[in-house]
Structure 1
Amino acid sequence: MINIITKSLNDINIEWKPLGKLLIRTKGTKITASQMKELHKDDAPLRIFAGGKTFALVNFDDIPKKDINREPSIIVKSRGIIEFEYYDKPFSHKNEMWSYHSKDKNINIKYIYYILKNQEKYFQNLGSKMQMPQIATPDTDKFEIPIPPISVQTEIVRILDTFTALTAELTAELTAELTARKKQYNYYRDKLLTFKEDEVEWKTVEEIFYLKNGYTPSKSESKFWENGDIPWFRMEDIRENGRVLNDALQKINKIAVKGGKLFSENSIIISTSATIGEHALVTVPYLSNQRFTNISLKEEYQDHFDIRFIFYYCFILCNWCKKNTTVSNFSSVDMNGFKKFKFPIPPLKEQARIVEILDKFDALTNSITEGLPREIALRQKQYEYYRNLLLDFPKVQE
């Protein structure tokens, strides 16, 4: 069907028209973020859009009747994250945004939406020239749209709607599978790491480990950051590269190191402030920022532990951290309690057995975790390929 459409278009002279001449542009309603929050009711029928994914649900009499749009429309999110959204129920939006609808029976408004969605990067690049990314009404009003026959517009919308639904369905199925596998993994991990009080020896964190706080070298001293080769870890490293780290996204120069001493390899970094309860094993000498508490085995305990066993038991420690926080300007872990948290010391052979099992579970979970975005990305690329193919109209040079 796609080939039939694209081939048939080769014989048609496609007219291009500015968006402002094709559609009716509407303004929003004068409302602040605090008013949206105050008026919001979970079961209210009218949606008011703000930037990004933000919206409020309000009653029809909460805003002026003239500001309510009841036509299927394209909403232009013109500030911050510049994007387009299609909506076909009654709505309004903040007045720094605008929307378009059509009264022309020869225009399928959702076809125009797909054209604009396909050009989001163009508008985002246009808006990036401003200090606060934004576009103005002339940017969309003057943007030219190819207008094939209404029958072609409708068929393009049908195909792209189908692709969108299939992509969403696949994402939901794979995400559900991943969630189930993770729950299964967490259950068996916690079961393997559960010991009776009198079954093994127990020691506190402060008995077993050296504890060191991370820090951030002065950003105003460019020499600290130029030509650096020392890994300096932040939460972004765990988010980007997982829980076993051998390199950092940012590096610092050796002159930025306090006392000239790095944190030792095979240490565990644990986030104990701001974002709490994340951890990773670092396999190289390094530094970290102040959000991390860094723990490394004392010499007298290095023959008592497999570092991978400690890594896995830190999932138990991190769960404890999430439940034991203090709040000031931002959340932080109760460090007195943290130091008293106890680690079990099972025989090394038992540690090795547990590590072997959890490594296998971890590999399986990670393969699914990596496979999910890979599969979704593949489907998304396939979708974008066909969308580009369908919406790539030749423009006749006058």
Structure 2
Amino acid sequence: MRILEFIKQNCKNVEFKPLYELTIWDKKFKGIPKEWQEKTIKFNHILSADLKNLLCDDGDIFLLSTGNFSGYTNSEICKNFNQAEIIALPSGGFANIKYFNGKFIDSGNLLAISKDTSKVNLKFIFYYLQSNLKIIEKMFRGAGIKHPEMSSILSIKIPVPSLEVQNKIVEVLDSFSSLVRSLVRSLVLEKTAREKQYKYYLNHLITNARNSRIFKLGEVCEIKGRIGFRGYTTADMVKENQGAITLSPRNIINQKIDFSDLQFISWAKYEESPEIMIFENDVVFCKTGSTLGKVAIIENLPQKTTLNPQLVVFKNIKCNNRFLYYVVSTENFQSKAQSLKGVGAVPNISQGNLANIEFPLPPLDEQERIIRILDSLNELANGLSAGIPKEIELRQKQYEYWRDRLLEFPSKDSK
């Protein structure tokens, strides 16, 4: 990068100064209005529904949080706001740092402004602190909620090259981070489009399958679950290699079985219920609680497996197993299952009600045609789902690498 040569030529002996000489941290900023605070629950982590209603897509006042949340409101709702260029640290929790320039209200962070904008670009300081976040993490201490040890943080030495160099580095990093954000947005949009396409064809093809007849689920398969008296307790749980896998709803991720986080029950418990022993191409369905409707087809089964009481398995299927898997994934089937769930602390659908749900079943050749189309679309959607996090991670590492390279300066004391 040409910027590296520019830095090398213009930064022979860079002076390092402690953060407290470059920034002001004791300036008072306006926080969340009192009437909002009453509607706030641990603002940096979770928002009540009432507070969310105060936000808007076209707002011009930023609700500043160093947690996982960010949003905008406007001057009609909040007339008491700040307008400044600041960097922010959380007053408690996990080490994080944010930069903002404009109108905002604060959610309870530690905020700083530049002491002298003619000599120091505050965003340059932000990028340098962000590059050294691992060091800042060690300065958050406490047994419960960690808090920043500000004496240590304010002593962090910041390189102070010429303002021209600072501005050039900020310009490059702004451009780089903007490219990364743009790429992430485009990848997410592509993923969303493929998922919508898949869901559309899933529902359309099965609803409009040629030469279909209406069947109840119980006419097409047997629904098997763990019978009450054959339930198990913690005493039946064993370590890996000492028993069989017992699947739970948490093992169903994106309509596939995730075998990375498993629980095991004794061989005696496994053999007690042969009707729910799981085999390749079985279809499992969650019938209980908030996960009701999660479904997966068993593929690449690593060893002997059974179910916990929250799941059922479809056995002796009289159609293509994969077609049935797609059927129970449709919006039509899922909405019927949700409408039949009971009431109570943990609502569930009985196996009898599940067996009575109707759906169209075409001849075998039509089932296979639909499966080929859906498999192709599903593979494309899932491929994007798997690839996007890796691509984002790669781009983020690439950005961090160049950020750290640009912020490496020899000090006056270096030889």
Q: How many matched pairs?
A: 386
Contact 1:228 1:251 in 2 (8 A): no
Deviates more, 1:281-290 or 1:375-384: 281-290
2:44 — aligned with what? none
CA distance in 2, matches of 1:20, 1:212: 64
Q: Report what 1:8 is aligned to.
A: 9
User: Is it true that 1:120 corresponds to 2:133 in the alignment?
Assistant: yes
TM-score by length of 1: 0.80
Contact 2:246-2:265 within 8 A present in 1 as well: no
- 1:340 aligned onto 2:356: yes
Give the residue type in structure 1 aligned to 2:315. Answer: L
Contact 1:48/1:92, CA 8 A, preserved across alignment = yes
Letter paired with 2:96: E
Deviations 1:216-255 (A, max 9, x none): 9656x6963466563344455433xx43337341232426
Q: How does 1:35-46 map to 2 (within 5 A)?
A: 35-36=39-40, 41-42=54-55, 46=61
Q: Distance in 1 between matches of 2:408 and 2:367?
A: 59
1:385 pairs with 2:401: yes
Residue 256 of structure 2 aligns with which residue? 244
- The letter of the residue matching 1:342 is E
Answer whether contact 2:62 2:73 (CA < 8 A) is retained: yes
Q: Distance in 2 between matches of 1:256 and 1:222?
A: 9
* Structure 2 CA distance for partners of 1:325 and 1:210, relative to 1, 3 Å: closer
- Counterparts of 1:186-265 in structure 2 under 5 Å? 186-195=199-208, 199-205=212-218, 208-212=221-225, 224-225=238-239, 230-239=244-253, 242-245=254-257, 247-254=259-266, 257=269, 260-261=272-273, 263-265=277-279
Aligned equivalent of 1:98, options 95, 110, 116: 110
- Identify the match of residue 52 of structure 1 among 67, 71, 94: 67
Cα gap change, 1:60 to 1:188, in 2 (>3 Å): closer
Residue segments in structure 1 that go unaligned for 5+ positions in a row: none
Provide, for residues 297-336 of structure 1, a one-character-per-residue CA deviation record: whole Å limited to 9, x for no partner. Answer: 14xxx4x222111111121233544566566546655776
Pairwise CA distance, 1:388:
1.5
Q: Which moved more, 1:350-359 or 1:22-31?
A: 22-31
Spell out, residue by residue over 1:160-179, the C-alpha distance to the aligned partner (whole angstroms, 9 max, x if none): 11111111222222222222
CA deviation digits over 1:156-211, x for unaligned, max 9?
11011111111122222222222222222222222221257983251234872323
Question: What is the distance in 1 between the residues matched to 2:409 and 2:120?
Answer: 16
Aligned twin of 1:85: 98
Aligned to 2:305: 286
- 8 Å Cα contact 2:244-2:305 kept in structure 1: yes
Q: SS of 2:115's equivalent?
A: coil
Contact 2:19/2:156, CA 8 A, preserved across alignment? yes
> In 2, distance between residues paired with 1:181 and 1:76?
38
**Equivalent in the alignment of 1:166:** 179
SS of residue paired to 2:38: helix
Partner of 2:85: 72
Aligned AA for 1:286? T
Contact 1:78 1:136 in 2 (8 A): no
Paired position in structure 2 for 1:364: 380
Structure 1 residues 206-215 or 259-268, which shifts more? 206-215
Report the 3-state secondary structure (helix = DSSP H, G, I; strand = E; otherwise coil) of the residue aligned with 1:295. strand
For 2:322, the equivalent position in structure 1 comes to 308
1:295 to 289, 301, 313: 313
Change (3 A) 1:369 1:41: closer
CA distance in 2, matches of 1:214, 1:119: 56
Farther off after superposition, 113-122 or 130-139: 130-139
Cα distance in structure 2, aligned partners of 1:222 and 1:144: 57
Taking a change above 3 Å as real, the CA distance of residues 295 and 199 of structure 1, as seen in their structure-2 partners, is same
Q: Which amino acid aligns with 1:85?
A: K
Q: Mark the CA change 1:142 to 1:170 in structure 2 (over 3 Å): closer, same or farther.
A: same
Name the CA shift for 1:93/1:342 in 2 (closer, same or farther; >3 Å). same
User: How far does residue 106 in structure 1 lie from its aligned partner after superposition?
Assistant: 0.7
2:158 equivalent among 140, 145, 148? 145
Structure 2 counterpart SS, 1:88: strand
Question: Does structure 2 conserve the Cα–Cα contact (< 8 Å) formed by 1:267 and 1:294?
Answer: no
RMSD: 3.7
CA distance in 2, matches of 1:246, 1:137: 43
- The 8 Å contact of residues 205 and 339 in structure 1, kept in 2 or not, is answered as yes
Judge which range, 324-333 or 119-128, deviates more: 324-333
TM (norm. structure 2) is 0.77
Shift in Å, 1:364: 2.4
Cα 1:374–1:347 change in 2 (3 A) is: same
Q: Structure 2: how far apart are the matches of 1:364 and 1:64?
A: 48
Q: Is the 8 A contact 2:139 2:153 kept in 1?
A: no
Q: Secondary structure at the match of 2:196?
A: helix
Residues 1:54 and 1:185: Cα distance change in structure 2 (over 3 Å): closer
**In structure 2, what residue type is equivalent to 1:305?**
C
